[in-house]
Amino acid sequence: MRAIRAVALAASVLVAATAVTACSSDGSDSAGAGGKVTLDFWGWAPGYEEAVAQFNASHPDIKVNYQKTASGSKGGYTKMLTAAKAGNAPCLAMVGYETMPSFVAAGALQDVTEYAAPSKKKFADWTWNQVTVAGHTYGAPVDTAPMALFYRKDLFAKYGIDKPPATWAEYEAAAEKVHKADPDVSLGSFGNDAYNYAGLAWQAGAKWFGTGGDKWHVTLDSAAGRKVAGYWQGLLDQKLLASHPSFDPSLYKDMAAGKVIADVNAVWAAPILASSVKSTSGKWAVAPMPVWDADKPAYGNDGGSATAVMKGCEHPEQATEFATWLSTNKDSLSTLIKKTGIYPAATAGLDHPALSKPDPFYGGQKIYDVFKKETPHIDTSWQWGPTMTQTSTDVADGLGAAGSGGKKLPDVLAATQKKTVGEMKQQGLDVTTSR
């Protein structure tokens, strides 16, 4: 996200008030016998443990201890912030781009600009902006997360869908065709992942946050946002979608059984799907995300993360060395592409051989070709706000209620915008809204 004065002011006030101390001597960040540096690293993505092992094998003077936590939205971020306030945070943490501003404002991250700056040119500019706030860099970008349509080729053929829907109008028509053929089968499932929904909004040009005139602009409840909400609410009202919590076992059970036959999701969902419905291997394929305007295709991004250096890290230079290595080393990228499903933020990583390998689960398709073609058509000016921990929770709760019929999506946007503005004002930020 672009550096802005409002975040800087909030961060400076909160950092001064928090008085976060250096990491404790529990081994989270220490220099052992012989001068060997030991660093703790908290994260949750598959493949990270293997990449850390590769680093340790090639760096005898630095040892990284990887500890798997709950994902950020399911308690990982709360644990990290609590540890930072107590002064016993790990030296390194996996932090989504969307949460970086919130961590900066909470005084939970350490400025490593002097160590990170030489590596800036190794990354796409917009990803570097995601780890830099008010001119200060707090880690290294890992990946971006273009979205696509994952679908069952055999079941599309069974229900007379000759080709994957290229537009959202075609997606609705396909959903109607499936439902008419078998009311117990759905084209897709409506989940409660706030960042997946953000990717849908992102695609449509529905900004959630912006800045101007030293003010934050909160626009979740915009005309473009309501367009997206109205579309998905329409599908729910027609009962054309199943409804499962995102990434829930119940979803994958229905996918394996052929009751949910497609999913609009991010690149990193590819290995998750493959490991969750192994019995259907070879029957899936990946197509571009449906677009609003076929003549002017635009795509969404669902996620992207950084390896952030936490406040109090006693060895920020070595921590930054590891963070950069994780995102740029060829062997590390091989592991993260295969196991984690990343689309690299490092520019050199975009030509990595692992991106060109046929995937047996997807019928031998070179699935990264889809994401590569989409990437130039993703708006990289999207901004995240300083209260995403709260905002994402409110969006997720609202999505879950909408999926079960308890709320309407347009109302969820309005309610979330109101709560977000209140939270930002409570932090002392100058906020305005518009539609």
Residue in the structure block whose two tokens are 């921590």? 319
Intrachain domains 5-144+303-356 and 147-301+382-433 with the same fold = yes
pLDDT tens across 300-320, in order? 999 999 999 999 999 999 999
Q: Are 276 and 252 in contact (CB under 8 A)?
A: yes
pLDDT tens across 392-435, in order? 999 999 999 999 999 999 999 999 999 999 999 999 999 999 76
Tell me the pTM: 0.90
Q: Where are the alpha helices (DSSP H) in 338-387?
A: 368-374
pLDDT tens across 46-87, in order? 999 999 999 999 999 999 999 999 999 889 999 999 999 999
Q: In a 3-state reduction of DSSP, which class is residue 78?
A: helix
- Residue 126: CB partners within 8 Å, gap ≥ 6? 380, 381
Per-residue burial over 364-390, b = 16 or more CB atoms within 10 Å of its CB, e = otherwise: ebebbebbeebbeebeeebbbbbbbbb
pLDDT tens across 200-249, in order? 999 999 999 999 888 999 999 999 999 999 999 999 999 999 999 999 99
Cα first-last separation, the chain: 22
Q: Tokens at residue 182, please?
A: 């078998």
Give the other-Cβ count within 10 Å of 28's Cβ.
24
Q: What angle do CA 85, 86, 92 make, to 5 degrees?
A: 75
Report the CATH architecture of 147-301+382-433.
3-Layer(aba) Sandwich (3.40)
Report percent pLDDT > 70 for the chain: 92
Q: Which residue spans within 208-346 are E strands per DSSP? A: 209-212, 215-218, 242-243, 262-266, 284-288, 305-309, 343-344
Pairwise pLDDT comparison (268 vs 4), residue with the higher score: 268
Distance CA 422, CA 429 (A): 10
Domain ranges of the chain: 5-144+303-356, 147-301+382-433
Q: Dihedral, CA atoms, 424, 192, 376, 384, nearest 10 degrees?
A: 10
Could you please state the CATH topology (level 3) that the domain comprising 5-144+303-356 is classified under: D-Maltodextrin-Binding Protein; domain 2 (3.40.190)
**Helix, strand, coil shares, percent, the chain, to 5:** 50, 20, 30
Taking 70 as the threshold, does the pLDDT of residue 3 lie above it?
Answer: no
Report percent pLDDT > 90 for the chain: 89
What pLDDT is stored for residue 391 in this prediction?
95
